[in-house]
Amino acid sequence: MAIELKKVTLENRGDSHRIVLSKESQTSTSEIIINLNWTQEVAKKGFFANLLNSSQGIDLDLGCFYELRSGEKMVIDGIQFAHNQGGPRERATKQGCLTRAPWIWHSGDDRSGAGDGENILVNPKGIKELKRIIVYCFIYDGVAKWMETNAVVTVKVPENPDIVVEMGKQNSTLKFCAIAEILLDATDSITVKKLLTFHTGHAECDKAYGWGLQWHAGSK
């Protein structure tokens, strides 16, 4: 783990960092931001590169499993709120809700990573109701080309250094990756732990971390 003035980088699987929230943070109007960003490496040219579709861009999707202290468990990502099943942050939809439980809202889909990436917002006012979040990303379409993504998840907590989880050069052929676990203490702390485990999809990751949801095929 590398600690700098403005960020903490979790370098190895199992590394974790705990942040104690001030009372001001818990009542702040500023959200905790979970950001996924990635870059597109320049694709190789030539016949074989085109044959293997290596010139196609990579579309990563950010999502999370969440658990409330009430025992409620659910998932939020672009597939869940596709086809007009999402909505603004103030209204409870499959995109989440920021002003009441689950206190989590996905800001929308980014197909390229060229901008600010994708964001999940967490309202600090809900820390007493939130228990656990598993942050994941997946390649929605195409082959698993993690080596070309340089994907980074950054957890931004108001008045604290950013917590950075870098995927690094991964060569897994699986298209779904659980990147980090966020544990929320009922009083005043957040602990971020690097996972970096690969799975065949939502259902397998669900089973690995004990969510117990029912799954069926979906699309964006």
Token duo for residue 61 = 């999707």
Q: Say if residues 151 and 139 touch (Cβ distance below 8 Å).
A: no
Classify residue 96 by its DSSP letter.
Answer: E
Are β-strands 60-68 and 130-139 bridged in parallel, bridged antiparallel, or unpaired?
Answer: antiparallel
DSSP string computed for 58-88: --EEEEEEEEETTS-EEEEETTTTTTTT---
Predicted confidence at residue 193, as pLDDT, reads 97
Query: What is the CATH architecture of 2-209?
Result: Sandwich (2.60)
**pTM for this entry:** 0.87
Q: Return the closest-CA partner of residue 77 out of 96, 58, 57.
A: 96
Q: Return the closest-CA partner of residue 118 out of 169, 77, 73, 162.
A: 77
Q: Say if residues 135 and 62 touch (Cβ distance below 8 Å).
A: yes
Contact residues for 217 (Cβ-Cβ < 8 A; gap 6+): none
154-182 residues labelled b (16+ CB within 10 A) or e (exposed): bbbbbebbebbbbbeeeeeebbbbbbbbb
Spans of the chain, pLDDT less than 70: 24-29, 40-57, 110-115, 218-220
Q: Return the closest-CA partner of residue 154 out of 2, 8, 28, 1.
A: 8
Token duo for residue 167 = 């995927």
Q: Where along the chain do its domains lie?
A: 2-209
Predicted confidence at residue 132, as pLDDT, reads 97
Predicted confidence at residue 147, as pLDDT, reads 84
Q: Return the closest-CA partner of residue 159 out of 30, 37, 9.
A: 30
pLDDT digits (tens, 9 = 90+) for 79-123: 888 777 788 899 999 999 999 999 999 998 765 555 688 999 999
Instruction: Find the distance separating the first CA and the last CA of the chain, reported in whole Å.
Output: 36
Predicted confidence at residue 52, as pLDDT, reads 46
